Amino acid sequence: MSVLSDAPAAIATTDVVVPRRQSRELGYIAMFAVFTAYMLIPLVGTLLFSVATTWFNTILPEGYTFEHVFETINDPLFVPTVGRSLIASIATIAVSVVLMTPMMFLLHIAAPRLRPIVEFLSLLPFALPTIVLALSLIRTYSSPPIVLSGTPTLLILSYVVTGLPFMYRALDNSLRAIDTHGLSEASATLGASRWTTLRRVILPNITTGIAAGALLVFSVSFGEFTLSSFIVGDAWKTSGVWTVAIWDDQPHKTTVMVMIGFVISWIISLIILFAFSKRATVEVGQR
Amino acid sequence: MTISGRSTARLWLLIAFLPFLVFCAMFELIPVVSLLLGSVGGLDRLSLEWIIKVFTNATFQRSIVNSLELSIISSLLGAVLGTAIGYAMMRTRHGRVRSGLIALASLSSNAGGISLGFAFITILGSAGMITILLRTLGIDLMSFFSIYSVVGLIVVYLYFQVPLMIVLMLPAFAGLQRDWAEASSSLGGTGRDYWRRIGVPVLMPSIMAGTVLLFVSSMGAYATAQALIGSRINLMTIQVSILRRGEILYQPAQADAMATVLLIMVALSVLAYHLIQRRAQRWIKA
């Protein structure tokens, strides 16, 4: 909690006109150290717990073992639950890309007037707490005319909803970056139809953008808990629901699953950060 | 282009947008309307009984107070810390440290969900790493701090609030141009003048918008709290889940009403965010 006292002091002593650089720099470094520790200690704790033999009264575990990792992977529920989460996430990406790519392309070249509507609908999920979305969907689709509650279909479609803002931003940014309008006009002058233009000119140029959006969608849907526990629950147990269910009896397995989740989301974020964009991606995740 | 050619083109355009619009209608708009209707008992029963109960029943009142307390404190702390650290990141001379921290902040700003709850139990729970470390130093952490409390949740939520604020503030700091400080000092302004007349007024809209966004992200958080505390702390999201699942009592209309109140609070905050953000954008170059 020492950041609390350090932070405002650092701002107050900052003097733009007469720099006192040395002491100021030291203050910054102290803040960075506390911040980095705060960000890393929970990860270290989880990592150690997942490979600890026994760990009760010592600061560090008494011994290390991969036994829990193997136990978790060999658990009869590991492959089915992780498999379902993978299927759901990949299906979500497929649906999102097909649903949004042609539409966003047309939005840019032919229907700029529809932008406010599309933007509103795409960003709306940010204003929708996940549990509110879950509740709305199950109450709407539990009774005729359309009954989808309890099915993976509804789960996947709910993930598509939570992924909309990510796909929208990713597609919008990349379509902006490549001068979609100019390219399309050039392509039309050469006699290409819009469909041909999208397929042969635009798509090859925005693959990285689509991939970045897809990875973000993957990271919010894989390991997700709220929607899957409400919409499918035990009927189609995902890895998130399983991870929570085993906490009481097999906490080590839970921490192994959490560790796997951390590793996956860090890998995805690093790919996006270094391979796809020079800028930091600013997104609000689902909690 | 002939008239018929143009209207055919229009028709195609409409068909191209149709899947998206139908999808949003079916899975965003209709469900939300259905929830709002459910909270008043449906069109045939139409009563404000459940909404009123959200504000009059002691348990539900408590959940609103707890959620607000948690979200207001964690978003204010997150905003102050995130702004301070973000500022230091922009000012430090160590370029490598800066890019490393930007990477760390943008990775962590997406943190959340059940993983975060469990991760904090392994360090601050009763057998957690830090709890034991302090015990060996003779400090009994559990006597004055519990991870399973509102204060505990604040500590956990700051894990995504602080980096999120940093990421939100970086463009604003980038917009704070160096020549303004020089102009201010060549006109005889002191450091204090600079901050009072230029720095703070330019940054304030961004800080406020960021704070509101942090508030939104913690009001709606459910998975982290559920993993960490189960039903031990009375929050609005937890209350929705209890009422809907019926582990103790199954009251779907009451769950709808609670979710509706939560939705309205969050939606109003998002609206406020957009209004403030529009002001903030003035200083940030596109």
Residue A3: is its pLDDT beyond 50? no
Is residue A234 within 8 Å of A272, Cβ to Cβ?
A: no
Mean pLDDT along residues A178-199: 85
Task: Quote the tokens at residue A46.
Answer: 């989880």
Q: Whole-angstrom Cα distance, residue A251 to residue A261?
A: 15
Q: What local confidence, expressed as pLDDT, does residue A188 receive?
A: 86
Partner residue facing A286 (CB), from B112, B120, B252:
B112
Among the listed residues A72, A73, A69, the one whose alpha carbon sits nearest the alpha carbon of residue A53: A69
Is B216 in Cβ contact with A132 (below 8 Å)?
Answer: no
- Written as one letter, the residue type at B245 is R
Average pLDDT over residues A115-128: 92
Per-residue pLDDT, A285: 40
pLDDT band at A283 (very low <50, low <70, confident <90, very high): very low
**Cross-chain residue pair A139–B162, CB shorter than 8 Å:** no
Predicted pLDDT of residue B126: 81
Return the residue in A253, A270, A284 with the most chain B beta carbons within 10 A, the one to mutate for interface testing.
Answer: A284
Query: Shortest Cα distance from B65 to chain A (angstroms)?
Result: 18
The predicted model gives A250-268 an average pLDDT of 88
Contact across the interface for A240 and B128, Cβ inside 8 Å = no
pLDDT, residue B3, reads: 54
Cβ-Cβ contacts under 8 Å, A59 against chain B: 129, 132-133, 136
Segment A136-149 mean pLDDT: 87
State the pLDDT confidence band at A19, using cuts at 50, 70 and 90: low
Is the CB of residue B98 less than 8 Å from the CB of residue A17? no
Mind telling me how many Å the CA of A211 is from chain B's nearest CA?
A: 17
**With contacts defined as CB-CB under 8 Å, which chain A residues touch B247?**
none
Structure tokens at B184: 């201010």
CB atoms within 10 A of CB B142: 15
What whole-number distance in Å separates Cα of residue A246 and Cα of residue A248? 6
Helix (H), strand (E) at residue A121:
helix A115-123
Both structure tokens of B12: 């195609």
Smallest CA-to-CA distance from B167 within B227, B114, B122, B108 is with B108
Whole-Å CA distances, A209 to A164, A170, A172, A175, B89? 14, 6, 9, 8, 28
List beta partners, residue B246: none
Of the candidates B172, B39, B275, the one whose C-alpha atom is nearest the C-alpha of residue A282 is B172
Q: Which residues of B touch A128 (CB under 8 A)?
A: 28, 32, 220, 263, 266
For chain A, the average pLDDT equals: 84
Instruction: Tell me what percent of the residues of chain A surpass a pLDDT of 90.
Output: 40
pLDDT band at A191 (very low <50, low <70, confident <90, very high): confident
Provide mean pLDDT across the span A35-41.
Answer: 94
More confident position, A176 or B162: B162
Confidence category of residue A113, pLDDT binned at 50, 70, 90? confident
Measured in angstroms, the CA of B253 and the nearest CA of chain A are apart by 10
Question: What is the DSSP annotation of B6-41?
Answer: HHHHHHHHHHHHHHHHHHHIIIIIHHHHHHHHHHTT
Average pLDDT of the residues in A52-61:
71
Name residues whose C-beta falls within 8 Å of residue B105's C-beta, 6 or more positions apart in sequence.
Answer: A280, B86, B89, B163, B166, B167
In this prediction, the residues of chain B whose per-residue pLDDT falls under 50 are: 1, 286
Residue A8 has pLDDT above 60, yes or no: no
User: For position B47, what pLDDT does the model report?
Assistant: 85
**From the list B35, B135, B227, which residue is nearest A139 (CB)?**
B35
Q: Which amino acid, residue A222?
A: F
10 Å CB burial of residue A202 (0-12, 13-18, 19+) is buried
CB half-sphere exposure, B101, CA atoms < 13 A: 29
- Using CA atoms, how far apart are residues B221 and A130, in angstroms rounded to an integer? 8
Instruction: Specify the DSSP class assigned to residue B196.
Output: I
In angstroms, the CA A210 to CA A198 distance is: 13
pLDDT for A15 beyond 60: no
A18 pLDDT above the threshold of 50: no
Instruction: Report pLDDT for B247.
Output: 64
- Kindly calculate the radius of gyration of chain B based on its CA atoms and give it in whole angstroms: 24
